[in-house]
Chain A
Amino acid sequence: MAYSDKVIDHYENPRNVGKLDADSENVGTGMVGAPACGDVMRLQIQVDDNGVIEDAKFKTYGCGSAIASSSLVTEMVKGKTLEEAAAIKNMEIVEELALPPVKIHCSVLAEDAIAAAIEDIKAKREKKAESAA
């Protein structure tokens, strides 16, 4: 299969690879997929007090398109509010990376990873608000 130039670029120079402290109260972690399915994505976001994503990191086990999708997503979410980030749809990733139909599920995984990371940080904040109240 031939890869698009954008997939190759993200694959060869992945942006924002790494790990944030999952225990920090400003960090939301989303881990989706399963090793048995051949893809696992971990997306982490660091959110400031105004609910703006100031940093994002990923690590992905999966095909080149999955790696490129998660790399792209870390770039997309930075600077966005949680609400804006939650509105990102997988088709934006598909279009940006010119993914073929068999690779659409890789972009869905990236969308799921954002949602999971947002859910995690929201849950943390609610818990904190409850214990403060």
Chain B
Amino acid sequence: MAKLNIPVYLDYSATTPVDERVAKAMADCLTLQGNFGNPASRSHVFGWKAEDAVTEARANVARLIGADPKEIVWTSGATESDNLAIKGAAHFNAKKGKHIITLKTEHKAVLDTCRQLEREGFEVTYLDPEDNGLVDITKLADAIREDTTLVSIMHVNNEIGVIQDIEAIGALTRSKKILFHVDAAQSPGKVAIDVDAMNIDLLSLCAHKVYGPKGIGALYVRRKPRVRIEAQIHGGGHERGMRSGTLPTHQIVGMGESFRIAHEEMETENAKIEKLRDRLWEGLKDMEEVYLNGDFEQRIPGNLNISFNFVEGESLMMSLKDIAVSSGSACTSDSLEPSYVLRALGRNDELAHSSLRFTLGRFSTEEEVDFTIKEVRKAVEKLRDLSPLWDMFKDGVDLDTVQWAAH
């Protein structure tokens, strides 16, 4: 029996530990004895060797998404990829039109980039998802205008794990000749990506959610038909001029190795993780007033986002000090606003405040899941005993009819 490692890590969507195999490959690219050269050095073997390693990594990343290696642009992570894709495409096409469509549940890397473009005079439509977190394709079609140049919709949502129908959206945008950007930071190794079948023009990736290192990512930029974007970082003209800067060989090798492993082990790994996730849900769902956020079917295997009504998320996390999870509670954010993702699903503020996100991954075990079930049940019970709302609910008071002294 695997031993229980405390604290238990159930926050794989925030970041993952680096796989040992990846760490080893990276470590081989640092020192004098290793592959430390500058991949851009054309005049000696150190540079050639480094370039070979980068080429191999590029091929591994491309393979996982069904792309050509030439279509991969290295960046510092998904945030930079989102910025490059959205600003780069919007600016390049500004003469054609200045309207962009995105989704209210996107990551901040997309939303804040769109806000910046609004300040520069672009117009952005932020679509509401349905209550299950998914985009209604007819609503997307209705939002398209003459001057729409870009649609940016994420593949897998980081909070609720729902998977958008990217293929259907891609068919629509292609038929309207509008560029399609997909933030796929949460997808590799969890759900298949095929940039051709899905008609994706730009796709953001990062390594640190797939057991690779932080600080490295990539942007897929389609070559046929050619997609043109304006560079955001200028310099030595690396990456076909789209992103300058000396390539970090060890980071790139780490990303390549993590994507190679993901490609090979995805199927067996997902089956294992899904079983554990279902075990966790089975262990919790019979409690009173517990709600799953986001569609259960169109969802990655490792995600469970649950609202425990009448219990506030931060205090719940405080009780779960041996378990690392994240919460949609306002009290855990600097803004004191509860999760905008859950609110966009039409969840009321109470349920948004009461939510926890459990994300399982490669190293999760049955022992960890069973321990988590036990601890969560205990904590929810304790906090409900402390909750005036639970009292009122048990007394049959309809909380919506109470006049709250809001402050």
Contact = CB atoms under 8 A, between A and B. Distances in A.
Given A32-B405, A32-B407, A61-B310, A38 B331 contact: yes
B315 A59 contact: no
Given A11-B315, A33-B406, A34-B405, 5 more contacts: A17-B386, A36-B349, A36-B406, A61-B312, A62-B312
B389 interface: yes
Contacts of B406: 33-34, 36-37
A1 B317 CA distance: 11
A35 B386 contact: no
A59 B405 contact: no
A69 B381 CA distance: 20
A79 B386 CA distance: 23
A40 interface: yes
Contacts of A37: 330, 349, 406-407
A79 to B, nearest CB: 23
Interface centre among B336, B338, B387 (most CB of A within 10 A): B387
A67 B315 CA distance: 8
Contacts of A33: 404-407
Interface of A: 1, 3, 11, 14, 17, 19, 31-42, 59-64, 66-67, 102, 105, 108-109, 112, 116
Interface residues of B, number: 29
Contacts of B350: 35-36
Given A34-B407, A35-B349, A37-B406, A64 B329 contact: no
B407 A19 contact: no
7 contacts: A17-B386, A34-B404, A34-B407, A38-B329, A42-B388, A59-B386, A60-B387
Contact of A60 (B348, B386, B399): B386
Most buried by A among B349, B386, B389, B407: B386
A35 B399 contact: yes
Contacts of B389: 35, 40, 61
A59 B312 contact: no
Contacts of B387: 59-61
B314 interface: yes
A59 B391 CA distance: 9
B318 interface: yes
B208 interface: no
Q: Is the interface of A mostly helix, strand, loop or mixed?
A: mixed
Given A36-B349, A38-B331, A63 B314 contact: yes
Contacts of A62: 312, 315, 331
Nearest to A70: B386
B353 interface: yes
A28 to B, nearest CB: 15
Contacts of A59: 386-388, 391
Interface in B278-302: none
Contacts of A67: 315, 386
Given A36-B350, A40-B404, A109-B407, A31 B388 contact: yes
Contacts of A1: 332
Nearest to A14: B386
Contacts of B142: none
B120 interface: no
Contact of B388 (A36, A41, A63, A108): A41
Given A34-B406, A35-B349, A63 B386 contact: no
B395 to A, nearest CB: 10
Given A19-B391, A41-B388, A59-B386, A36 B404 contact: yes
Contacts of A17: 385-386
B336 to A, nearest CB: 8
Contacts of B391: 19, 42, 59
B62 interface: no
A11 B318 CA distance: 9
Nearest to A17: B386
A34 B405 CA distance: 6
Contacts of B353: 35-36, 38
5 closest pairs, A vs B, by CB? A34-B404, A36-B349, A63-B331, A42-B388, A38-B353
B18 interface: no
Contacts of A36: 348-350, 353, 404, 406
A41 B399 CA distance: 14
A34 B353 CA distance: 11
B404 A63 contact: no
